[in-house]
Structure 1
C-alpha cells in the first residue's frame, strides 16, 4: 500500500510540474519559485566546481544545459498555471521570461475566486 501511495505522489508531482492545464495558487507558486531558485543555484555550484576540476568541461556544460532546458520547461508550466489562476492566457509567460523581475509579482496577486475558463480554483 505504501508503494502505491508513493507512486501516486510521484505521478501527481510530475503532473503538476509538466502539465500546462489547470491553476496554481500563489502559495504553491511562491514555494516552487524559491525551490527552483535554490535548485538552479546548487546545480550551478556543482557544475562550476566540476568544470574547474575536470578537463572534460564541454561534456559538463552539455549536461548542465540539458538540465536547464528541463527546468525551463517545468518552470514555464508553473508560470502558465499561475497565470491561469489570474484568468490570463498562458502565452503571457513569454513576457515573464523576457523581464524576470516581474515574475515576483505573481506571488502577490490573489487568484480569481471561483471557477474561471481554466478550471476550478486550486485547493
Structure 2
C-alpha cells in the first residue's frame, strides 16, 4: 500500500502527535507529577490528537474534491443578496467614510 504524496505530511504530523501523547506523561512522571495527573494528560492529548486527525482528513478530502461548476453549487458567501430594505422609522445614513455623521463647524483650514 502506497501513501499519496499529499498524505505523507499529515501522516508524519499524526505520528509526532502520538509520540507526544506518550512522551509528555513520561516527562510529567519523571518530574514528580502524580500518575493520575499524567494519565489524565495522556488521555486529553490523545483526544485532541484524534480530533485534529479527523479534521485534517476531512480537510484533505474537501481539498481533493473538484470546485463546483454550477451557480447553485457555489458556497453561500458567494451568492448575491440584495441590499436589505430600510426599517420603518429609520432614516438612511448619508455619506461615506470616516466623517459620516460628524458635525463640521468651520471651513477646511487646519486648526493651529
TM range (shorter): 0.3 to 0.5
- Ranked by relative contact order (alpha carbons within 8 Å, sequence separation 6 or more), the top structure is 1
Structure richer in helix, relative to its length: 1
- The two structures have a TM-score, normalised by structure 1, of 0.42
